[in-house]
Amino acid sequence: MSTAAELAQLPQRPEAPRQTTEFRITRPQIVGPDSPEAPFPILLAGPVQKGFGRGGKELGCPTANLPDESITPISSVAKTGVYYGWAQVLPPKDGKTELCQDDIRVLPMVMSLGWNPFYKNEVLTAEIHIMHEFKSDFYGYDMNALVLGYIRPELDYTTREALIEDIEIDKRVALNSLDRPAYAKYKEDSHFDLSCSVNPS
């Protein structure tokens, strides 16, 4: 159990600005420079944990949560918000898995780093949505991710529908941004296990 002193040192949930219609209609479809700049790329890795269970059920965007200690490489150098990059779910060492070959490729992802102000979370989380239709759950599997760029700040919303709309825009922006050669090449980065990943040409 945490002591009062330890709890006092934990980061507190800040107030997030409200999302506005003007913000949505002026959002760019590609973000970031033509190639990643510091502090990117940021390497993340850890076993996938169960989160709040809201991503898939309520928002149509299932997420894989990384443990607290895995968040340190990005939370120490980056602000809260939505990011894009590549991620890979790794099959167990014993080879027993329901994942197919397509599931263990290096795939595009968007990541929310923050407090989920719409839900008033009290804990900082890193939630990764891999843009792929997985055939089964992969809780407990290791996941590697490379964060390559920043999409937008964390925002608060008055409706769930507005949040869902922004999430869908985030996905499109991530795919457009990753399509550039200097970002696409990171699919082959040594941070990933390419021996079990076959990317289409």
Q: How far apart are CA 50 and CA 57, in angstroms?
A: 13
Q: Rg of the chain over CA atoms, in angstroms?
A: 17
Q: What is the pTM of this model?
A: 0.80
Contacts of 138 (CB under 8 A, 6+ apart): 48, 64, 89, 99, 103
Is residue 127 part of the annotated active site? The answer reads yes
Q: Which of 2.40.50.140, 2.40.30.30, 3.20.20.70, 1.20.1250.20 is the CATH number of 13-188?
A: 2.40.30.30
Q: Which of 127, 133, 154, 165 is catalytic?
A: 127
Query: Nearest Cα to 30, choosing from 178, 144, 146?
Result: 178
- C-beta neighbour count of 159 within 10 angstroms: 10
Q: Which two tokens stand for residue 16?
A: 């997030």
pLDDT per position in the chain (201 positions), as tens?
A: 333 344 344 455 445 445 555 666 778 999 999 999 999 999 999 999 875 444 444 445 778 888 878 888 888 888 889 999 999 999 887 767 888 889 999 999 999 988 764 445 556 788 899 999 987 888 889 999 999 999 999 887 778 888 888 989 999 999 999 999 999 999 999 999 988 754 443
